[in-house]
Amino acid sequence: MTKPTQKLHDAGQSLWLDNITRGLLTSGTLKSYIDELSVTGLTSNPTIFDNAIRKTDFYDEAILEKGAAGSSGEELFFDLALEDLTEAADLFRPVHDATDGVDGYVSLEVSPKLAYDTQSTIDEAKRLFERADRPNLFIKIPGTPEGLPAIEEAIAAGVNVNVTLLFSREHYLGAANAYMRGIERRVEQGLDPRVASVASVFISRWDKAVMGKLPAELKDTLGITVSKRIYKAYRDLLDADRWQRLANAGANPQRLLWASTGTKDPEASDVLYIEKLASPQTVNTMPEKTLHAFADHGVVDDMLSPDGGDAEEMMDKLTQAGVDYDGLAAQLQTDGAESFVNSWNELLACIDGKSEALDKAS
């Protein structure tokens, strides 16, 4: 019997894991997800690394060794993260090669503290990408107003980019245009236009933001409605003359990625954002718990409609119920950037604390 994960993959959507730990690598668990659950990539963030370092001893030896060599703070974190992510990238390399560079990626984030600093983001993205030295590694750059020119510059410089912190159709289009400007510059300069990118749209946070504030019939519909709007914009863009010219020059499309797809509402289906966001030519990156749930009881049924389906009708109803789409999108991006900085600070504090404790115990 074909697993739901395989069915979704066969329908044209890539399944990525929103998690990375050294234990996943050393135990062979990640390899089993590739072989048995059709996982073809992964994403990471500061919270994921914080939990992995705080709650396990997999990193203790490396922290002690690198600390003794003088590494600390952000430098020590990137040492640890790049060890994990380059190993994961090598695991996904056969997927990357088999899909001619379309799939099989892992992601590493620049410091979230740079979300509003364009030049520092550009410099850090180039540095980390060069240091990783893997063709199937993305550098995560937030789609903030200050991040958009950094995305263009990074793409123009040949750096693969995962654009994060996107919430609305307008956020997505900003990221897509930044990507295309970068590719257009490469074409004009006679450079290889095949620089990879995904645009990561955070979904469940919409519904969490309005939880308990909507009529029962509109409960848990906002995130899906926004997704339908964005998917229409994505498909329209792929059909547009501007993109077709770049495709003819040899460029691969920036793929739309559904992120934050773990269900926040305890009364909703634990695979809500997997089943409802099934769509070809996209990626869904999901927490480990959600991946297992979908493999166990997920259903692959209707795909998102390229024309957006009932998105505008539903958005009218949501607006009448008090949803301020533009205002909430801006607030979610601001809150998301702040949350990432807080997670980053907690991560660095965790590493410093563990380094100090290990040093004393040694």
Q: Which residues are catalytic?
A: 140
Exposure string over 181-206, b if 16+ CB within 10 A, otherwise e: bbbbbbbeeeeebebbbbbbbbbbbb
